[in-house]
Structure 1
Amino acid sequence: EIETVGGNLNITGKHTEETVEDQTHWIYRGIRKADFQLSFSLPEHAKVNNAKLEQGLLLVEIYQEIPESEKPKKIAIESKPKAIEHKS
């Protein structure tokens, strides 16, 4: 389960028993299979776009959406043409 609450990204997972009969006898399996809960602080204006599980890894896509009112604006500098005086 993935949710965003008050600027935090919370990820919770529950281990379910595998029903596939595996004839392999393991001496050691490096990936722990247990319930977990993680929380990450998100920067201001961060949005979670999507999440997917690929080959046992959870991928969460996050992007930053800055409102137009907070984006930098370029301001043109006005200048008057210089007058050139000619002395004879």
Structure 2
Amino acid sequence: MRTFDLAPLYRSTVGFDRVFDLLDNAGKAETGGYPPYNIERLDENDYRITLAVAGFGEDELDVELHQNTLTVTGSRGDDDDGRSYLYQGIAGRSFQRRFQLAEHVEVSGASLVNGLLNIELHREIPEALKPRKIGISGGKASNVKVLKDADAA
């Protein structure tokens, strides 16, 4: 069994649509392996996605971020130029590759060097979500007022 029916969970929850969408899409493998890519972790909060896009120019590539989905699209015009290939091993077809990004991950830049498209990612966790240290005061509990049943009424 490769698919799960999440319909019962949809009926009893509110506000978890994104979580269920991620679960639905997690089992679906993307068809094709073109273009090949690497995902690197540079340090704790920095990542890099590298796609092998040999033959594509900057004007033929599009990188777009929409609702935590990074989409890389390569479109080639019909530029056959009357060439006659005996063997064509370098793929030059159009493509679209999608990556699901975690919360608070933003694209910090992209560069095309030697046929490799490098997309730099940075995770910035807001201060409100970072763990914080709570100080413990060591002293008498004289400042704490204890309510008794009579005081509460």
Normalising by structure 2, report the TM-score.
Answer: 0.43
Q: Does 1:4 align with 2:65?
A: yes
Of 122, 128, 139 in structure 2, the residue corresponding to residue 63 of structure 1 is 122
Q: Distance in 2 between matches of 1:70 and 1:35?
A: 40
Q: How far 1:79 sits from its partner (Å)?
A: 2.3
Hey, which of these two has a bigger chunk of strand by percent? 1
Q: Which digits, 9 at most, give the CA deviation of each residue in 1:31-86, with x for residues without a partner?
A: 41110001100000010000010100000000011111111101122224xxxxxx
Structure 2 residue ranges without an equivalent (≥5)? 1-61, 140-153
Report the 3-state secondary structure (helix = DSSP H, G, I; strand = E; otherwise coil) of the residue aligned with 2:117: strand
Of 6, 11, 14 in structure 1, the residue corresponding to residue 75 of structure 2 is 14
Report the 3-state secondary structure (helix = DSSP H, G, I; strand = E; otherwise coil) of the residue aligned with 1:76: coil
Normalising by structure 1, report the TM-score.
Answer: 0.72
Structure 1 residue ranges without an equivalent (≥5)? 20-24, 81-88
Provide closer, same or farther for how the CA distance between residues 32 and 9 of structure 1 changes in structure 2, counting only shifts above 3 A.
Answer: same
Of 113, 121, 127 in structure 2, the residue corresponding to residue 54 of structure 1 is 113
Q: Distance in 1 between matches of 2:104 and 2:132?
A: 18
Amino acid paired to 1:33:
G
Corresponding residue for residue 83 of structure 1: none
